[in-house]
Structure formats: structure tokens, C-alpha cells
Chain A
């Protein structure tokens, strides 16, 4: 993949025709797996992420906490998800993303209901086209709700980037790879809380502020889609 000359054309459109503040087509589905207690498949454009939740189940002694449930989160990329085949052994990147994703979910899971248990959240990237961790956070949020795990609120994620001096939302792979900044954000709009942010690149103070502002608007919309998806699944389950 070569670096494009320009990321935004004279009409203000991005390489894939989107406006700077426009997200890719979003698809969400819950209850896609039969063994898992909760599951979700989420797509932003070509990025596809599957999440599954097991638990609460009995903790292994080493991770058992007397006053709350512990969360175990694994972010992992399928070998066929990337441009070049990825070795399935977890990379340092996947280890770090598992940690920041767990920490993005800790504030919203009501863990004190279930002392000495653990809740497992498995996030598998099936196809990667930028923003996999943020799509992963959205999928995990849906899978947790689908599993009936008590939550303070739903979260969703989106990445903000900077190309040709313009802030853009929901980077695809090219924009992520060659852009000047990539800032993934996960938030719970119902609570007005941001549960994950990272910055890879350079932004001014003002841009940083605007980026979060931009992300919150999009995350609001994403959580609305989550809510609709969950309500529909409830109705379908009721009809059976």
C-alpha cells in the first residue's frame, strides 16, 4: 500500500468518499454464537470483530478477588485478518491492547455483585481495516449486555485521526498508516465518561480537545445503534 498524495480532495471528501466527520457503514449483531453466554459481531466498513463473554464463572485461585469479580480480556487478531498473514501467537501489541481494552470495560461492569468470580471477554479481529480496538470495545459492550452481565452503561469506540491538517473520524487502514495522528477513544455517553484514550501522533492542545469532542458525537450515535440492536434482540427472543 503506497502513501496517497492527498487524503482529502477539493470537495472535502476522503479517499473512500466520506466527509471528515462521517463513520463507515456500521453493522451490529448480538447472540451470534451458541456456546458463549453473550456474543456480538460488529463491523465498521471492512473491519469485522467478534466478541464473546463467558461468566461470571469461578475464578482460578490466583486471580480471585474477595470483593468483586475479575475481568479477563483477550484481544487477538485472526491470522487471515491482516494484509500479510499474521502469526497467531500474541504480539506485544495484542498484549497491550488487551490491557487497555480491559481497563476501558472495568469502569462500566458492575463487578461487586460477584465476588471471587471471573468474567472472560474474548475479542477476535476477523478482518482488519483500521480501528480494530475501537470496534472491539463496541463488540465487547454488546456481548456483555447480551450475556446479562450487570453494567453501569454501554460503551462504544471510535478512532479520530488527522490527515492533511484536518481531523477525521473512524480511520481506515490507509488513513491510520499514513495519517499524522491516530487517537482511539472509548466512552460511555450515558455517563459522560471516557474509558479509553490513546494518541499515536502529534496534535495541538486545541486539536486534542476537538478530537475528543468529535469522538463523543460519533460514540453517541454508535451507542444508539447498540441500544437498538439490543432492544431488537430482546423482542426477537420474546417472540420465540
Chain B
């Protein structure tokens, strides 16, 4: 590098390389005026020599979902071909489920009927109902966020009984039963909702944000 950087911790606007030396990775932008690569963030420099790429790893993750993020949402409305949700935050599943970050205010998301992952159903309310807490995957990373329910992890985690409001318990992968009034309802249920261990973990993490 023809530049000798005094610090590997850089701040916004700081020159990290010349355009001929490296291609810009994440957190780096090209200053068109001068041809310098500059950092867009406070963070640490990372150099990938194989691809001649220079990036800046930011000190704080921005609180927005990215493509493939797993998000916790509540269902706000269910239309004929589309489910609207409020996204509360990003969750990591491994090694154990926990919040990556909770948003200060919810973001809007939508699930199209071709992103459900189930072929046979009469109507989308057999998949989710308004008020359900669900896990979904982000498939487009700009607002409004498109989400998918394809895959066994994705679907309902918590659901309140539409008759009495009690939290229902899953009895198999597409049915929930209300422990209070015995009402049985149909949903696409996440396999994490039925795992007792994971559910306990889930509760713990929902309870105590990082």
C-alpha cells in the first residue's frame, strides 16, 4: 500500500487507499473528485489481498435487517395475496436463539403468497392471523422489506386464541390448541415454537434485550 495509515481504526472521510490499489468493499466509498477510497464509518480496516478489496468493519451494526436476516415480526393484517407485518428486530438462531438487535420503532414488511412454502391452503389466514408473532427470513434488503416463510424454522412462534386471547400451544406443525377454551386453530408453525428448550431460550431472550 502506498499509503501508510497511522491507525487501523478509521473515521468517516478518512482516506484508506487509492482507487488503483484496491476495490471498495463494505463501509468504503469512492471519492469521485480525487479517486481516493474513503471510509464511510468509524471502524476497523479489513484487507482481502486475494480480491484486492478493502473494507471497514463498522463499530456499530446499523439497526436494519439485511438480506437473509431472520426477523421477529407481528402480523398486522392478512389480505388475499399478501401478509403485512411489523418487524421488531433481527434474531440469530445459532448457537442459540437471541436478539441481534431490536429496532427502536418497528419496520414494515410484507410476505407475498408465493413465499409461504406451503402449497395447499384455502386462504392465508390458515397460515397466520393478525396479532401472531412469527419468525421470517428477509429476501430483499431495502424498505419495504420482503420476507419469506419458506423453511421449517419460519412461521408462528406465539399465537393468541381468537376466542379467548390466551397464548395457544402447538399440537403439531399446523395446529394450535388453546389450553383455556380448547379451541383449535390452523397455522404454519415454526419448528422452534414446538421445541421446548428453544422456546425457553426464546422467552429469555425476548425478555432481556442485549
Which residues from chain A contact B107 at a C-beta distance below 8 Å? Answer: 57-58
Provide the A138-155 mask, 1 if CB < 8 A to any CB of B, else 0.
Answer: 000000111111111110
CA distance A230 to B61 in the complex (A): 16
Residues of B within 8 A of A (CB): 7, 9, 11-15, 27, 29, 31, 33, 38, 40-44, 58-64, 103-108, 142-144
Closest CB in chain B relative to A107 CB, distance in Å: 12
B42 touches A117 (CB 8 A): no
Q: Which of A115, A148, A150, A235 contacts B143 (CB 8 A)?
A: A115
- The answer to whether A208 has its CB under 8 Å from any CB of chain B is no
Which residues from chain B contact A145 at a C-beta distance below 8 Å? Answer: 11-12, 41-42
- The answer to whether A202 has its CB under 8 Å from any CB of chain B is no
- The answer to whether A188 has its CB under 8 Å from any CB of chain B is yes
Which residues from chain A contact B144 at a C-beta distance below 8 Å? Answer: 116
B40 touches A151 (CB 8 A): yes
- The answer to whether A129 has its CB under 8 Å from any CB of chain B is no
- The answer to whether A237 has its CB under 8 Å from any CB of chain B is yes
A152 touches B41 (CB 8 A): no
Closest CB in chain B relative to A28 CB, distance in Å: 13
B11 touches A227 (CB 8 A): yes
B13 touches A152 (CB 8 A): yes
Closest CB in chain B relative to A111 CB, distance in Å: 12
What are 21 residue pairs bridging A and B, where the CB atoms are less than 8 Å apart in the complex? A35-B104, A37-B60, A37-B104, A58-B105, A58-B106, A58-B107, A114-B143, A145-B42, A147-B60, A148-B58, A150-B27, A151-B13, A151-B41, A153-B38, A154-B13, A190-B15, A190-B38, A191-B13, A234-B42, A234-B59, A235-B9
- The answer to whether A221 has its CB under 8 Å from any CB of chain B is no
Q: Which residue from chain B places its CB closest to the CB of A141 in the assembled complex? A: B12
Closest CB in chain A relative to B90 CB, distance in Å: 14
A148 touches B42 (CB 8 A): yes
CA distance A153 to B59 in the complex (A): 16
Interface Cβ pair total, 8 Å cutoff = 94
Which residues from chain B contact A233 at a C-beta distance below 8 Å? Answer: 42, 59
Which residues from chain A contact B13 at a C-beta distance below 8 Å? Answer: 108, 151-154, 188, 190-191
Question: In chain A between 143 and 172, which residues have their CB closer than 8 angstroms to a CB of chain B?
Answer: 144-154
A150 touches B64 (CB 8 A): no
Q: Which residue from chain A places its CB closest to the CB of B60 in the assembled complex? A: A148
Residues of A within 8 A of B (CB): 35, 37-38, 54, 56-58, 108, 110, 114-117, 144-154, 188, 190-191, 226-227, 230-231, 233-235, 237
CA distance A116 to B143 in the complex (A): 6
A152 touches B11 (CB 8 A): no
CA distance A144 to B42 in the complex (A): 10
B38 touches A58 (CB 8 A): no
B31 touches A191 (CB 8 A): yes
B42 touches A230 (CB 8 A): yes
B104 touches A57 (CB 8 A): yes
CA distance A226 to B10 in the complex (A): 12
Q: Given A148-B58, A154-B13, list of 17 further CB < 8 A pairs? A: A35-B104, A37-B63, A57-B103, A57-B104, A110-B29, A114-B64, A116-B142, A150-B40, A151-B13, A151-B40, A154-B12, A190-B14, A191-B33, A231-B7, A231-B11, A234-B9, A234-B43
Most chain-A CB neighbours within 10 Å: which of B9, B13, B58, B62?
B13
Closest CB in chain B relative to A114 CB, distance in Å: 7
Closest CB in chain A relative to B189 CB, distance in Å: 28
B41 touches A150 (CB 8 A): yes
Closest CB in chain A relative to B123 CB, distance in Å: 28
CA distance A67 to B185 in the complex (A): 42
A148 touches B142 (CB 8 A): no
Q: Which residue from chain B places its CB closest to the CB of A193 in the assembled complex? A: B33
A115 touches B63 (CB 8 A): no
Which residues from chain B contact A57 at a C-beta distance below 8 Å? Answer: 103-105, 107
Which residues from chain A contact B60 at a C-beta distance below 8 Å? Answer: 37-38, 146-148
A230 touches B11 (CB 8 A): yes
Which residues from chain A contact B64 at a C-beta distance below 8 Å? Answer: 56, 114, 117
Which residues from chain B contact A234 at a C-beta distance below 8 Å? Answer: 9, 42-44, 59
A226 touches B11 (CB 8 A): yes
CA distance A152 to B132 in the complex (A): 41
